[in-house]
Amino acid sequence: MQFATLALAALASVASAQRVTVVRVAQNGSLTYTPNDIRVNVGEMVQFQFAAGNHTVTQSTFDQPCQPISMHSNVTGFHSGFVPAAASAAQNQMSIFTINVTNTNPMWIYCAQGRHCENGMVMVINAPTAAGTNRTLANHRALAAQANTVVPGGGLAPGGGGGNNGGVNGAIPGAPGGNPGGNTGTDANNNPATAGASVLTPATYMLLAAAGFAALL
């Protein structure tokens, strides 16, 4: 209880200075991020709340959905790790993962669990706005349906796989020499891929009392 009170106080002090956009992960057990297409200004935060299941919040490029951005650019990107919501819920708590947005380049995000990404568990922060752009969330999801999920540092996700294992495994991020280093990820303006965000908390997520959370919203 004391921890929960401290955590709430810490968050409240931050929230008073910065706008926080909340994204629910697996709302009602669905394989979704809600909302999944958001605009966030530089200096603002996005807080992912893990509502159910065991999911991740992981950054990819537009062109290679379901795979870490580090596989296809020289950007490390962010990755929440796997977050089992039930473990926190059993303690009347909620796991969250918060990023601080540091530029307005598009950030494409997927869940690295199983085939969630292939099944559409993707989202975007600051999608390209250029007239006629084909780099839309709908098109990204269509690409994701054809992808093979890769877990950062862990190879193909359970249930992933298919025909491209050889090529994919050769570039697993975190493996020695595995980062190709090329700026293959670009946005509509042909800017190199950038992480665009920093992870706010030293640990990848923190726990917060569910009751205190409701009071904030």
Among 116, 135, 140, 141, binds Cu ion (CB under 5 A): 116
Residue with tokens 């605009």: 39
Does 115 engage in binding with Cu ion (CB under 5 A)?
A: no
Among 11, 111, 125, 168, binds Cu ion (CB under 5 A): 111
* Closest among 149, 146, 144, 96 to 124, alpha carbons compared: 144
| Cis peptide upstream of residue 84 (ω within 30 degrees of 0) | no
Residue 50 bridge partners (DSSP): 25, 95
Does 140 engage in binding with Cu ion (CB under 5 A)?
A: no
**Shortest spacing between CB 69 and Cu ion, in angstroms:** 18
Q: Which of residues 123 and 168 has its CB atom nearest to Cu ion in the complex? A: 123
Does 55 engage in binding with Cu ion (CB under 5 A)?
A: yes
**Shortest spacing between CB 23 and Cu ion, in angstroms:** 13
Q: Is there a contact between 186 and 194 (Cβ–Cβ < 8 Å)?
A: no
Does 58 engage in binding with Cu ion (CB under 5 A)?
A: no
Does 123 engage in binding with Cu ion (CB under 5 A)?
A: no
Residue 186 carries which DSSP code? B
**123, exposed or middle or buried, with CB in 10 Å at 0-12, 13-18, 19+?**
buried
Q: Which of residues 23 and 188 has its CB atom nearest to Cu ion in the complex? A: 23
Interface with Cu ion (CB under 5 A): 55, 111, 113, 116, 121
